[in-house]
Amino acid sequence: MRLYLTALKPTDSVTDGFLPSARALGCDVTILTDHEGHGGHGDRRPGVVRCDVRDPRALIDTIAHLGRPDAIFSNSDHLQAETALAADYFGLPGKDWRACLSAKNKYLMRRRLAEAGVEEVRSVRLAPGDPVPADPPYPVVVKPREGVASEDVMLVERDLAAAVAAVRRNRPGAAVVVEEYLEGPLRTVETLGDGSRVRVLGGFATTLGPLPYFVEERLDWAPDGPHEHVLNALRALGAGFGACHTEYVETPAGPRIVEVNYRVIGDHCDFLMADVLGVPLFEWILRVHLGEPVPQPPPSSRHGTAVSLVADRSGTITAAPGAEERSRDGVTLWHRPLRALGERVELTRTNRDFLGVIRAVGPDRAGVEAAVAAYRAERPWVIAP
């Protein structure tokens, strides 16, 4: 089977998740990318072909030249619509490009959900040069229309014009969305669909860092929640194929969608979900793209958490634990460093401030909490000014 995987920069999800799973399924993998550094581990590196992956015409032309595909897949936030168009061109299972576009564009998502009667959240799109509303109903959230990783997302309680100007300085030419602040616990629903049915795999409760920023510092396995509201939102968007990571807030008025990420959850929570459920998650996702029906996830009573180790200051990393896996008292814990010893850190107040990530799985929350606390005490990250 011939699988084409479109990608931008290398990620752990692709390198350590999807590529080994594709090999396990017997796929001949070609990575199409415009970035350097892609590949696998050891002697079984996939072919890498340079391509303008943001242009569906170039993508289709390159694939036609290389050979008929059995599946075309991407886990990139930025390439879902282009990859969906290429899959459709070759008559392969894939996502609806309109759903990909509506999910990625936060203003289109708001408009589509309102038109379908799912929910209404006040939202304004500001193109470059558009005037800023003079007296919005504060508090509001300012965010890039197509941003990721909490970059340039902030809570604004006064002086909206200054906040919008700051985002525009960082992102010249980009549109900005201003929407009402959704107050309440932040949670996620993780789904996998085959175009006919959508399975809920589970979900997470998210712990954010201090406002006015929205840095996701911790996610705890929390599979229960208002799944029907989220599924209604996904149906309205047409997002019923492949993996999807949806964030919502439990507001006093009911659940409200924050964003729909039409790919599997990241920041090592994809690996955590596979660990908690005890299933080959990455294989499941690829099998759907190869035309197989989505399986039913098994019940699980285990607890899991992913803790992002966030820099609290700018400076130079003078002590850092390495990659490690260990098991104690029934809890398995993994640490993955994201920065290197001696590296200079400049605070951004986004997910880019992560130094490393710990994920842990065990029979109950108390044991997992104790394992994470013990590891952090034994293996601290140290930043010197």
What residue has token string 């997002």?
239
- Compute the chain's Rg from CA coordinates: 21
Banded model confidence at residue 54, pLDDT cuts 50, 70, 90: very high
| Residue 214: pLDDT over 70 | yes
| Residue 41: pLDDT over 60 | no
Burial of 159 (0-12, 13-18, 19+ CB in 10 A): exposed
What residue has token string 């581990």?
41
The answer to whether residues 382 and 342 touch, using CB atoms and an 8 Å cutoff, is: no
Q: Taking residues 346-370, what's their average pLDDT? A: 95
- Nearest CA to 368 among 278, 276, 308, 305? 305
> What pLDDT sits at residue 131?
96
The answer to whether residues 267 and 216 touch, using CB atoms and an 8 Å cutoff, is: yes
pLDDT digits (tens, 9 = 90+) for 268-306: 999 999 999 999 999 999 999 999 999 999 999 999 999
Q: Taking residues 356-379, what's their average pLDDT? A: 97
Phi-psi region of 128 (alpha: psi -120 to 50; beta: other; left: phi over 0): beta
Domains and CATH numbers, the chain: 2-92 (3.40.50.20), 122-180 (3.30.1490), 186-384 (3.30.470.20)
> What pLDDT sits at residue 39?
63
Helix (H) or strand (E) holding 275: helix 269-277
State both tokens at 106: 């936060």
The answer to whether residues 237 and 112 touch, using CB atoms and an 8 Å cutoff, is: yes
How many CA atoms within 13 Å lie on the side-chain side of 250?
A: 12
Backbone CA torsion sign across 351, 353, 356, 360:
negative
The answer to whether residues 7 and 79 touch, using CB atoms and an 8 Å cutoff, is: yes
> What pLDDT sits at residue 149?
77
Amino acid at 216: E
Q: Percent of the chain, pLDDT > 70?
A: 98
pLDDT digits (tens, 9 = 90+) for 123-145: 999 999 999 998 899 999 999 99
* Residue 141, beta-bridge partner list: 155, 179
Euclidean distance between CA atoms 214 and 151, whole angstroms = 9
Residue 135: CB atoms within 10 A of its CB come to: 6
The answer to whether residues 8 and 80 touch, using CB atoms and an 8 Å cutoff, is: no
| Residue 376: pLDDT over 80 | yes
Amino acid at 173: G
| Residue 69: pLDDT over 90 | yes
Residues in the chain: 385
Banded model confidence at residue 36, pLDDT cuts 50, 70, 90: confident
Q: Percent of the chain, pLDDT > 90?
A: 92
Banded model confidence at residue 44, pLDDT cuts 50, 70, 90: low
Alpha helices in 38-134 (DSSP H): 56-66, 80-89, 97-104, 106-115
In the sheet with 123-126, reading across from the earlier edge strand, the strands are: 123-126, 176-180, 140-144, 154-156
37: Cβ–Cβ under 8 A, 6 or more apart, which residues? 9, 10
The answer to whether residues 144 and 176 touch, using CB atoms and an 8 Å cutoff, is: yes
Amino acid at 337: P
> What pLDDT sits at residue 43?
43
Euclidean distance between CA atoms 282 and 75, whole angstroms = 11
What residue has token string 């894939």?
94
142: Cβ–Cβ under 8 A, 6 or more apart, which residues? 152, 153, 154, 156, 160, 163, 164, 167, 176, 177, 178
pLDDT digits (tens, 9 = 90+) for 106-126: 999 999 999 999 999 999 999
